[in-house]
Amino acid sequence: MTLPSEARLIVKHTFLEMVMEPTVGGRRRAMSDSEFVLPETPIAHSCQKDFEDLMSNASTRATIPSDVSEDESTPKGKDVVTLASCDIDEITMSEAVKTTVMLRNVPYNCSRDSVVKMMDEVGLHGLYNFIYLPIDFRSKSGFGYAFINMVSNAAAQKLFTQFNGFAEWPMRSQKVAEVTWSEPSQGLNIHVERYRNSPVMHEAVPDEFKPAMYENGVRVAFPAPTKAIRAPRFRRR
C-alpha cells in the first residue's frame, strides 16, 4: 500500500491508525457542496443577478478566503456577505414605504377627534392625512382601535415613538396604547377607495363616526362616492 507523503503509521494494540499531517500553509477543505448558506426566504428579484453570478462561478469561488481563521465556522467570503445584505436591503425597503398604522388599546369612549387632538399635542400636526376610528352605532362607543395614515414613513415612525406605550388619555383609562403597521391595507388611496362607498359614509351616520381626511392639519372633504351608498344596518341584540 502506498501512503501519501504527509501520512505516517502508528501501531496501536495491533490496529493501524493513519494520521494525516497538516500541510504548511494549507487551507481547510473547499466549500464546494454546502459550506455557504443561502437565505431561508426566497431571494428578491433585485438580488437574482448576484445569486446567478455566484452560482455560475462557484468552482472558482469555492475556497474559503485566507482571512478566515481555523476556528471560525462561518466564511467571510464576499459572496456570502453580498447575498445576506441584499436580502436585508429588500426587507428594509418593503417596510420603508409603509405609512398606515393601527393604534390599538384605545379607550372605548375616546373619539376620532380626541385622537386627532392628541396627535397634534405631541407634535404630529400636519403629519397625518387620514384617520378612522370604528364606532358601534348602537352603543356609540369605539371598538378600541383606529387606523391612521401618515404623510410619510418618517412621520409614521414618529407616531410609533409617541404612541407605542402611550397611557396619557384625556379620559380616565388604564389602557396602554400599542402601535402596529396596518396589514394588509397600506396607503391613503387604498383607504379612500375602501370607505368612500361604504355604508359608514351614508348621510344618516353622524360625522364623528366617519373616516376623516386632512391636509396640512386641516380637515378636508372626503372624496365623493362613485355609486349610491346603502344605509347601514343596525343589528338587534
Helix 78-96 with 48-56: angle, nearest 10 deg:
170
Domains and CATH numbers, the chain: 39-96 (no CATH), 100-220 (3.30.70.330)
Helix (H) or strand (E) holding 215: strand 212-215
Position with higher pLDDT, 93 vs 138 = 138
Report the percent of the chain where pLDDT is more than 90: 53
Q: Would you place residue 2 in the very low, low, confident or very high pLDDT band (cuts 50, 70, 90)?
A: low
Give Dmax over CA atoms of the chain in angstroms: 99
CA distance 118 to 40: 42
CA–chain centroid gap for 210, Å, is 29
CA distance 21 to 228: 86
Task: Tell me what the mean pLDDT of segment 91-114 comes to.
Answer: 88
Give yes or no for a contact between 54 and 83, defined as CB atoms under 8 angstroms apart: yes
3-state secondary structure at position 218: strand
